[in-house]
Structure formats: structure tokens, C-alpha cells
Amino acid sequence: MKSRRTRYRILSLLGDPLVRFGMLLSAFFALLTLLILAVERSLNPNLTSLADAFWYTLVTVTTIGYGDITPVTGFGRLIAVVIMSSGVVVFGAVSGKIASFFFDRQQKRDRGLIKLKKKREHLVICGWKPDMDSLLAGILKANPELLPQDIVVVNNASQERMFPVTSSSTLRGLNYVSGDFVEEETLERSGVRGASKVMVLADYSRDYSEMEMDSRTVLAVITIKKMNRTSYVAAELLDEKFRKHLENEHCDEIILSRQYEKRVLVSASGGTGVSHVLDHLFGAADDEGLMIVDVPEQGIGKNFGELAGLFAEAGKGILVGLLENTGNFYLRKQEALAEAQKNPDIPGIVNKLKKVKELKSNRTVLAPERDYPVKKYAKAILVRSASSAGRREP
């Protein structure tokens, strides 16, 4: 069986035009090597062996020509002319092919025709917005560990709309896949099976209605979760009525952008000054404002008051709350389920299973009591001022 497969592979290889051309070219230069050896051997003291003839053919065909070996007979010089001419033609063609290969590859990258099925631990961003280039630049700034090469953008936008992204020097190296992100084949090309995080934006790449945008977001999340259960998925919705569908698919983070915008405008109408607060919390410098950070290892298992003391002592800011069950919700639930089943007490197992069912991803707990326990997979919600920057870690 193995021998049949081997024969099949060899025959397939021999059927490749490029392989056949390479074999023919090798045979041609081997013939010229033997010819110049036969002609020069008896008269040329520098060309007496097959090794000498091979060396001479090699340096001549590559047009290097060290001059350590030169033919002395007329027929030998004629063969040398054939070798040199062949070298110029062959290497000119090879250089053209290489240049063409890299040009085609760059063209494919710009047009989003690349395939990234083997890519791993990257961020996939589905959708397009009018300020896409500045959004991507902001993502890179907010995540210093990310490089442009670690991001794959997937959308159906025209080349004209994607030009600010593909031509940006800040985003050089970013991967772009052109296609409809609700289709499995397009997501496959983006390497979504190996992605660590996926973000689905409200897609403005075409003239979709708001309902179509949200429907496409829901469909994309369903497909992504089917292809990669362990990826952290964040999705943007315009209408809150679609939220339940994403929650049913265990979408890890749901961004109700239109709802947040409306709440700010309603609050501002009463002269509350909320816009100034939000501007400071979200539009402040990198080292101040509202921040969500990892809880230090020594803070896990302590209470909220003790953790607040740790952050205050280190000058990292004021602890205002906790974000529980962070990370991929599917993994959190699997771990909680395995932990619940370790209890030999049947009533105890039932109670723990009920708690697993009630588990919520990224559960926000604001201003809890001081004795509130800090659990595993929790993150700290801090408000930090510029004056606290530069002090030691907790």
C-alpha cells in the first residue's frame, strides 16, 4: 500500500511542469559539463577532473567567473559561450519568477486573498467601520503585547474603503481577509479555529439596515462558537433585543454601543455633566482613568477591603469593583462543572450544579462590602489618577 502511494506521489511530482523543466535544465548542464571535460582534459592542466569541470560550469552559468579555470581550445570556448548564454537566460527568468511571486503575494495580501488556516493565538476582527484605521491603531495602543501581524481583519468592504488600513505605516504587517464573515469558508481562511480572541463589529461595509447588521453579528458569533469554543468572543450590537441570542451562544462580551450613546445623551440633557466624567474616564492619558487590571496573585482569596488596601498602598488607584468569571466563559463553565462533580455528597453536587447554571460571564460587582471575597478569575476595576503613576506594583 505504501509503495503504491510512493509511486503515485513520484508520478504526480514528475507531472509538474516546473519539476520537469528543472530536470531537463539539470540534464542540459550536466551534458555541457561532460562535453567541456572531454574537450579540455588532455590540453588544459586546470581542467582535468569531473570536479574541475563541475566547478567551471557552476561559476560560469551563475555568471560569477572567478577566472581560475579558462578553456584553451576553440571548441571548449564555444561550449563556454553556450554555458554563459544559458546562465544569463535561466537566471534572468528565475529572477523574474521570484519578483513576480513576491509581487503576486503582496497583491493577494492587499486584496485580502490570503489564507491563514495555520495561524494561532491571534485576534480576528470581523466587520468594517468608517474610522477602521484609527480603531485598529487604538487597539494596538491599548494592547502593547499585540503586533499588527497578530491581527486579522475580515470584511466585505471595497478596496477603496480598506485602503487607509492596508496603506497605513502604523498597521504595516496587519493581515486582511476579504469575504463575508458570516460564512464558514471565510472564517476558515482567517484562521479563526486557532484565534485566541475574536471581535465582531457592527458591519458598515455595505448598505445594511441596523437589523441586518445585528442579525449578521448573531450569525457570525454562532458560526465562530461552533468552530472555536475556546476563543474569547466580543460582539457589538446596535439593538438590545438581539442580546439574548448572543447570551444563549455564550458570547463572552456584548457591546451595546448605540445604547451607551443614547444613555449619555439622555443624561447630558439634564445638565449632569456626565460627558465630562466619561471624557476623563475613557479619554484620559494611558496611565489614568478607568482601568481593568489583573488581580495580583496575593490578592486572590482575600476580601475586597484587603485588595483595595493592596492597590492603594502601591499607588495603583482606587478599587471600585470586581469583574468576575473573566476569560473564556466556556472554559470557566467546564472548570466549574468539573469542580462541582468532585463532591461525593449528592445534595451538595446538585447545589453546586445549580450555581454552575447560574454562572455569568464577566459579572460586574461594583462597590461590594469590604468582606466580599475575591475569587479566582476575577479582575480589578480601578479608577486611577496621573499622580499615582510610577509607583511600585502591588
Total domain count, the chain: 3
Of the ranges 98-112, 123-137, 189-203, 302-316, which one carries the lowest mean pLDDT score?
98-112
Do residues 94 and 214 share a domain? no
Task: Determine the pLDDT at residue 263.
Answer: 85
| Residue 312 Cα distances to 39, 115, 227, 308, angstroms | 90, 48, 43, 6
- Which among 80, 111, 142 is the end of a domain? 111
- Which among 230, 261, 292 is the end of a domain? 261
DSSP 132-185: HHHHHHHHHHH-TT--GGGEEEEE---HHHHHHHHT-STTTT-EEEES-TTSHH
H or E segment and range at residue 246: helix 243-248
Could you tell me if residue 318 is inside a domain?
yes
Helix segments in 41-148, DSSP class H: 50-61, 74-111, 132-142
Of the ranges 170-174, 182-186, 357-361, which one carries the lowest mean pLDDT score?
357-361
pTM score: 0.67
Contacts of 222 (CB under 8 A, 6+ apart): 249
Task: Determine the pLDDT at residue 305.
Answer: 92
CB 266 within 8 A of CB 361: no
Distance CA 269, CA 264 (A): 9
Of the ranges 106-115, 198-207, 311-320, which one carries the lowest mean pLDDT score?
106-115
Task: Determine the pLDDT at residue 256.
Answer: 94
In a 3-state reduction of DSSP, which class is residue 291? strand
Do residues 384 and 283 share a domain? yes
Taken as a whole, the chain contains a residue count of 394
Place of cell 494592547: 143
Per-residue b or e along 25-39, where b marks 16 or more CB atoms closer than 10 Å to that residue's CB? eeeebeebbebbbeb
Average pLDDT over residues 125-132: 94
Could you tell me if residue 73 is inside a domain?
yes
Task: Determine the pLDDT at residue 62.
Answer: 75
Do residues 53 and 81 share a domain? yes
Do residues 169 and 45 share a domain? no
List, in sequence order, every residue forming a beta bridge with 319; answer none if it has no partner: 382
Distance CA 155, CA 179 (A): 6
Could you tell me if residue 169 is inside a domain?
yes
Distance CA 100, CA 92 (A): 12
Of the ranges 46-50, 206-210, 298-302, which one carries the lowest mean pLDDT score?
46-50
pLDDT at 120 over 70: yes
Do residues 91 and 185 share a domain? no
CATH code of the domain covering residue 99: 1.10.287.70
Do residues 100 and 136 share a domain? no
- Which among 77, 111, 145 is the end of a domain? 111
Do residues 151 and 238 share a domain? yes
CB 237 within 8 A of CB 256: yes
CB 235 within 8 A of CB 246: yes
pLDDT at 174 over 50: yes
Do residues 83 and 180 share a domain? no
Distance of alpha carbon 307 from its chain centroid, rounded? 35
Contacts of 177 (CB under 8 A, 6+ apart): 112, 114, 116, 152, 153, 154, 186, 189, 190
Distance CA 129, CA 103 (A): 28
Between residues 371 and 351, the one the model is more confident about: 371
Distance CA 325, CA 149 (A): 29
Of the ranges 111-120, 187-196, 369-378, which one carries the lowest mean pLDDT score?
111-120
Could you tell me if residue 268 is inside a domain?
no
Do residues 143 and 257 share a domain? yes
Q: Which domain holds residue 13?
A: 2-111
